[in-house]
Amino acid sequence: MKSSLVRISTPFVVFLGDIKDEIYGKTGFGVVQWRGTECVGQVRLPGCRVDTGVPDCDIAAARAAGAKSFIIGSAAVGGRIPSSWVASLREAAAAGLDIVAGLHVRLEDLEGLADAARRGGSRLINVRVPPAELPVGTGRKRTGRRLLTVGTDCACGKKYTALALARDLKRRGVRSTFRATGQTGIMIAGEGMPIDAVVADFVTGAAELLSPDNTPDHWDVVEGQGALFHPGYLQVTVGLLVGSQPDAFVVCHDPLRTSVEGWEAFPLPTPMAVIERATSLGRLTNPGIRCVGVALNTSKADPAERDRLLASYARQTGLPCVDPIATGTDAIVSRLLQEFPAPQE
């Protein structure tokens, strides 16, 4: 099977443009939070009011510090690249830095950027564009172990839960790899598959490509997308369940929501309903699939309520329940390693 993924070279520098609000810098904050040791700094234009907490530098200083990629960590309203940013992108590309973007516009369409990249020998990496010639899924069982994060809705913590699980597995000495499926996750991981941009017939094949054969004791922790009860985005979740063939999955849930975000006519499913549906669908390619925990996003809840919420969902599901950012994922990792002990050599 062809093994090409979207890949990003490191170290990198984060470009924030001239954004005024942190909400437009989520990608920049994400890559700094999870890969700060590989970030040489941030480039900000005059008027920028957002600071990711790494040193400011210009393009020449970033290149001198060893940067190989220029990650656009900010977004303007509408997902476009303002004309005032393009000169900086051209300068970086001409200096030999790969330009990395996960926005709706293609980098090649920006005036003069392709020419600057040719002069500098750099790549223009549109993270939302999947590799060419993806295969159709085969359903063939692969070696190694896999865990998938599955949400009750979109934007409820699937990426951060997967990142935290991969991190906490490594802390236990378990071989693990975070497998990114969205643009920010790919920028954090340095490679991945923009699964929601893949043509439907090839989603399961793309998921197989993302998590190939591995050693028996290795865990691929696959970032989930979409949601099984979502009327608009359930397709990508089904494809990931079938294609990644997870041995285990974790349900991610926002306990303060009552309906699917943006589709208020559809009530938010319970974690138990998602567990039942994910198990049923996942058995097509992995009959042994099972849920090992629930991850709550309590970032908008009163901190005093967090423990009560975690305890309540643990009782409802009979599974360990954590907030991966506030409490860590150790309880779920312990359950995972109990359910799937290390193979005997």
Which of the two residues, 282 and 25, has the higher pLDDT score?
282
**Mean pLDDT lowest among 124-133, 165-174, 321-330:** 124-133
Q: What is the pLDDT, as a whole number, of residue 24?
A: 86
Sequence-distant (≥ 6) Cβ neighbours of residue 209 within 8 angstroms: 1, 2, 3, 5, 134, 135, 193
**pLDDT classification of 323: cutoffs 50, 70, 90:** very high
pLDDT band at 95 (very low <50, low <70, confident <90, very high): very high
User: Per-residue pLDDT tens for 209-249?
Assistant: 999 999 999 999 999 999 999 999 999 999 999 999 999 99
CA distances from 2 to 41, 146, 178, 212, 316 (A): 35, 20, 20, 10, 43
CA distance 167 to 161: 10
Distance CA 163, CA 222 (A): 9
- Distance from C-alpha of 227 to C-alpha of 229, rounded to nearest angstrom: 6
* Residue pointed to by tokens 């001409």: 94
pLDDT-based confidence at residue 4 (cuts at 50, 70, 90) = low
Q: Are strands 263-267 and 259-260 parallel, antiparallel or unpaired?
A: antiparallel
CA distances from 214 to 104, 144, 203, 245, 277 (A): 34, 5, 20, 13, 27
Phi-psi category of residue 144: left, alpha or beta, with phi > 0 → left and psi -120 to 50 → alpha: left
Query: Which three-class secondary structure state does DSSP give residue 219?
Result: strand
What is the reported pLDDT for 215? 96
- For residues 183-211, average pLDDT: 94
Does the pLDDT at position 195 exceed 70? yes
Is it the case that residue 326 has pLDDT exceeding 80?
Answer: yes
Rounded mean pLDDT, 122-126: 95
What pTM was estimated for this model as a whole? 0.90
Helix, strand, coil percent content, the chain, rounded in steps of 5:
40, 20, 45
Q: Average pLDDT in the 2-10 region? A: 74
Region of poorest pLDDT, from 70-84, 177-191, 329-343:
70-84
Over residues 270-274, mean pLDDT: 98
How far is it, in rounded angstroms, from Cα 88 to Cα 81? Answer: 11
Residue range(s) in the chain whose domain bears CATH number 3.40.50.720: 6-126
DSSP 3-state of 252: strand
Numbered ranges of CATH 3.40.50.300 in the chain: 145-339
33-44 pLDDT tens trace: 999 999 999 999
Does 104 have pLDDT greater than 80?
Answer: no
Distances (CA, A) of 207 to 5, 193, 194, 245, 298: 11, 8, 10, 9, 29
Average pLDDT in the chain: 94
Q: Identify the CATH assignment for 6-126 out of 2.40.30.110, 3.40.250.10, 3.40.50.720, 3.40.640.10.
A: 3.40.50.720
Helices and strands, counts by H and E, the chain: 11, 15
CB 113 within 8 A of CB 89: yes
Is residue 216 reached through a cis peptide bond, with omega within 30 degrees of 0 on the bond before it?
no
Q: Which residues contact 231 (CB under 8 A, 6 or more apart)?
A: 260, 263, 266
The whole-number pLDDT of residue 156 equals 94
pLDDT digit string, tens, across residues 47-85: 999 999 999 999 999 999 999 999 999 876 556 788 999
Q: How far is CA 299 from the centre of its chain?
A: 18
**b/e map of 308-318 (b: 16 or more CB within 10 Å)?**
ebbeebbeebe
Domain 145-339 carries which CATH code? 3.40.50.300
Position 2 confidence tier, pLDDT thresholds 50, 70, 90: very low
Inform me whether the pLDDT recorded for 302 exceeds 70. yes
